[in-house]
Structure 1
């Protein structure tokens, strides 16, 4: 059984329909709400229903369009928001039971930018507890629309699941070690972690402030670019990219090493073969120290997360999921020397990754070395870990995007592309060219 609506409209198409009069923001929101009701509770993706507010906002956006006021490509487009991002007047629950949901007093900066761009905030989405890799047992795992017996991934699983299921064209997630790209890969959609600092994080509950990013989940690269432009307040020019002119660096160390996961690597290699057939130049790239990325990321993430929870944890330690509580407690035990060495490594690896772009346009690997498992894996280092490919760009701050590249055993596989720091538009343009080649657009 799957819960995929292959007829659902992407944001670009939906916006065009508004402007040719064939549908309205009001109708789009009703369609989205009806689809959400169809897929819940099977997906367990929705943290807070904002139906009444969304209808009112859609009515305003529709009236504006009919009166000749057009705020741009996101005008009237429904967007879902991960439930650790503040939306004024709406409970924010963080995926926890350590304390009751808090009513946000103001919109997070990125939500305010979405409203300024005309978007309609449809609702809040479930996540792993405090985005820290564990589903709280009283919240539960978000399930995958391709197979609801499997996880949608984390921590932005609710956002990814609703986009993949066709309930909403766009959603916001956060990414500290892969939490946008991993669920995007599992759910067969596009997930972008922008350049560090490009998207404002005021009003977003932190996991690790040296590593946190927020960004889009979408069904197409073009939609992701629209959402990123709204989040940053900057246009994201995507000049056409000729695949024949691409120089692709393959990070072979981030391919699966375990035999059971070999089909994922084989599928990505087949995609690379298709690119080579169009004239792209393909090289295998080795970056010194890259193999340490996950361990070093954890040496930064864990103590920073523990400091954030230093005052929260003692209030109700039993309210946390046991796995989250254990990770927070373990973070207090990491020596300051390990943290400082990891921060120094952060700078060194960032320089080494940036230098790699002197010879290639984009770095490529599988987004995750396996398809969606039945449960969210524990955070791990070594072997085919979930963070094998994604962790390094959180450490370095480089923009990185997962796009769907095919299926293994009926489940999606993601292709990860990473670009220069600050080169988000160029990365998206490359991703759009690869998307078009792989999917015949």
Structure 2
């Protein structure tokens, strides 16, 4: 029997136990499945649980380790995959009744790579319908492990909740305007939107090809780096980063003052103060074109999503939730001129960020201006604009953007800190994140009765 506390251990700790023979992938996988059965009815983080398949994968992983075949750090580690990603012989629902379920014919490239790395895939996680900002009523909201009366965020909320609550050691998410980083912040875990194009999207249902990314969600930057290595098929190590001398830019986001909640601002200010005390050089940054970023994101997502879903909307429009259907219809009214203007903003912003990184090593901000709300805000409304205030621009420019937990508010709810680094400096973002993790106090999970969390020493 595996103690539930072990399900919150690092991937490296788990791997060490596998290799010294004190623990087996079968036992850990079974404990993960038992925990899903016990706790996920309150969370709703999984759409499909692959009990038989994960058992078989765990048994194979154990046999290989005993025979001396070691596939690497993820060998035998239970992980989860967002239900937007194709897996062979497994249904993909997209959390929708339109075009769903669709039986997978082959594994997405990132799934194939996870399997090659020896990962045990527990199942497919819940999401906002087709990753487009709305809950389909037949699938329901994924609830937040810190407070099940609140959302875990979107669109990768199922992946973030599963990782945060010890159901899975790590998970795959996708991000078109913040959909990895927002739920990571709400759930108190680590989420990386990698550099554009670093993780293959072959076999991942597109929403907006100009802005889509796939990336890891984990409980630490070290674990996220291991997931990124497996998902890309390339080694991603955390270089040694000293806080002293690190050049940090604090970017002014026009209009952010309308949305920033005091507890999140306080957590951010505390982190910046700690970095200053540790010897980091902190300076303000301003990018004039930033004021146009979120509008440009909308003008790109809307027509691209509508074009991609056009046939399905005509054939099975009744299968979409009313909100998603309305969003898809609205995208047909974005003019070609508006779309081209947005692409021009994208190009100018890429140049502006490239110039900004000549004077700083990383740009920091809150991940989201508030704690997890009761429900996901409408994508086109005022609160929807606020939710992606700090995240959407990095889908536009394709830079790596990482959310790490910044601490707990007085409501015992997590906040998120976003770390952005230059193009393809994903390892640097994770290394800076790991260094900041060492500065911040450990977050203590609530452990009251049959809680979603166990106490972490």
Task: Report the CA distance between 1:211 and its aligned residue.
Answer: 0.3
1:417 aligns with 2:391: no
Task: Report the CA distance between 1:328 and its aligned residue.
Answer: 0.4
1:399 aligns with 2:400: yes
SS at match of 2:68: coil
Separation in 1, partners of 2:352, 2:215: 24
SS at match of 1:289: helix
Separation in 2, partners of 1:151, 1:259: 18
SS at match of 1:39: helix
After the TM superposition, list the runs of 4 or more consecutive aligned residues in structure 1 that deviate by more than 3 angstroms: 4-7, 380-384
Separation in 2, partners of 1:271, 1:285: 17
Per-residue CA deviation, residues 220-251 of structure 1 (Å, 9 max, x unaligned), is 00000000011111111322111112111012
Separation in 1, partners of 2:442, 2:149: 30
Moved more, 193-202 or 262-271: 262-271
Task: Report the CA distance between 1:253 and its aligned residue.
Answer: 2.2
Separation in 2, partners of 1:252, 1:5: 41
Separation in 2, partners of 1:390, 1:66: 44
Match of 1:181 in 2: 181
Match of 1:245 in 2: 245
Match of 1:43 in 2: 43
Separation in 2, partners of 1:170, 1:278: 30
Structure 1 pair 325–209 and aligned structure 2 pair: CA distance change class (3 A) = same
CA contact (8 A) 1:254 1:365 kept: no
1:76 aligns with 2:61: no
1:339 aligns with 2:335: no
SS at match of 2:253: helix
How large is the RMSD of aligned CA atoms in angstroms? Answer: 1.6
Separation in 1, partners of 2:214, 2:104: 18
CA contact (8 A) 2:94 2:100 kept: no
Task: Report the CA distance between 1:290 and its aligned residue.
Answer: 1.1
> What is the TM-score when the length of structure 1 is the normalising length?
0.97
Structure 1 pair 410–254 and aligned structure 2 pair: CA distance change class (3 A) = farther
Match of 1:385 in 2: 386
Structure 1 pair 255–56 and aligned structure 2 pair: CA distance change class (3 A) = farther
Separation in 1, partners of 2:338, 2:422: 27
Aligned residue pairs total 438
Structure 1 pair 132–414 and aligned structure 2 pair: CA distance change class (3 A) = same
Moved more, 394-403 or 289-298: 289-298
> What is the TM-score when the length of structure 2 is the normalising length?
0.93
Match of 2:230 in 1: 230
Structure 1 pair 260–337 and aligned structure 2 pair: CA distance change class (3 A) = closer
Match of 2:302 in 1: 302
CA contact (8 A) 2:85 2:92 kept: yes
The residue correspondences of 1:11-22 to structure 2 (distance < 5 A) are 11-22=11-22
Match of 1:88 in 2: 88
Match of 2:165 in 1: 165
